[in-house]
Amino acid sequence: MKQFVVFGLGSFGAAVASTLIDLGHEVLGVDNDGEKVDDLKDILTEAVKADVADEKVLKKLGVKNFDAAIVSLAANLESSILVTILLKEMGVKYVITKANSVLHGKVLEKLGADKVIYPERDEGIRIARSLIMPNIKNHIPLSQEYSLIEIAALPVFHGKTLAELQLPKNYGINLLAIRRGNQFTFTPTLKHVIREYENLIMVGENNKIDQLVNKFKSSSK
């Protein structure tokens, strides 16, 4: 069990906090909006109404004792930047900060944020990819260059072995696992034959994923 602190309990912060609770961890939620705190006080380990940008408040909350802090204050650039700086100065091990633009994100990185996330941008990318390639079941951006995707086996893959497909060579994408319902096969052998009811979990550069999308489009005509 790990301990997390989430600053900003808007839709994104609340979703992160409640999901961490569902996964069995302890979460302290902090927001200066009493209604948002009240909405989550019976869900989170603890929810506190406080000025998140007040250094004295952060010290009183004992933020340096948490395994990670999530800063979901992108709508308030000044608070987002200030809280990120204070958390790192206080020795918080891992700080994840939400950004609302690339410039905002670059500033946060320079100030010491361990990870900067762009939920709106990433969701937009996911939706766009799902429209072009319905086979995509999951898309998780790992960075601006790389993503992890889960796709239903493409028609061009059906009945072929991994040795025949040579995914790293032909597509520049590495296969991590194969999912059949709730069953996973990690690092499958080259003799494995791809079936139409299987999902492939792969990682690769975004431009390589785009090439795979184009391959699917051409094979669907």
pLDDT surpassing 80 at residue 177:
yes
> What mean pLDDT is predicted for residues 68-85?
90
Q: What is the pLDDT of residue 113?
A: 93
> What mean pLDDT is predicted for residues 105-110?
90
**For the chain, percent of residues with pLDDT exceeding 70:** 91
Q: β-strand 3-7 against 115-117: which pairing, if any? A: unpaired
Residue 127 pLDDT class (50, 70, 90 cuts): confident
Residue 221 pLDDT class (50, 70, 90 cuts): very low
- Domain coordinates in residue numbering, the chain: 3-117, 121-220
Question: What's the residue count for the chain?
Answer: 221
Q: What's the CATH class of domain 3-117? A: alpha beta
Query: What is the C-alpha separation between 174 and 200, in angstroms, rounded?
Result: 10
Query: What is the C-alpha separation between 95 and 17, in angstroms, rounded?
Result: 14
Query: What is the C-alpha separation between 151 and 202, in angstroms, rounded?
Result: 8
Q: What is the pLDDT of residue 218?
A: 47
pLDDT surpassing 50 at residue 169:
yes
Q: What is the pLDDT of residue 133?
A: 62
Annotate 14-27 with DSSP letters as a single string. HHHHHHHHHTT-EE
Q: What is the pLDDT of residue 216?
A: 59
Q: 0.95 cut: is pTM over it?
A: no
**Higher pLDDT, residue 78 or 38:** 38
Q: What is the pLDDT of residue 207?
A: 86
Topology classification of domain 121-220? Alpha-Beta Plaits (3.30.70)
Query: What is the C-alpha separation between 157 and 165, in angstroms, rounded?
Result: 7
Residue 220 pLDDT class (50, 70, 90 cuts): very low
Query: What is the C-alpha separation between 104 and 116, in angstroms, rounded?
Result: 9
194-213: per-residue pLDDT in tens? 999 999 999 999 888 877 76
Q: What is the pLDDT of residue 96?
A: 94
**Higher pLDDT, residue 149 or 29:** 29
> With contact defined as beta carbons under 8 Å apart, do 112 and 84 qualify?
yes
Residues 6+ apart with CB under 8 A from 113: 71, 84, 88, 95, 96, 97
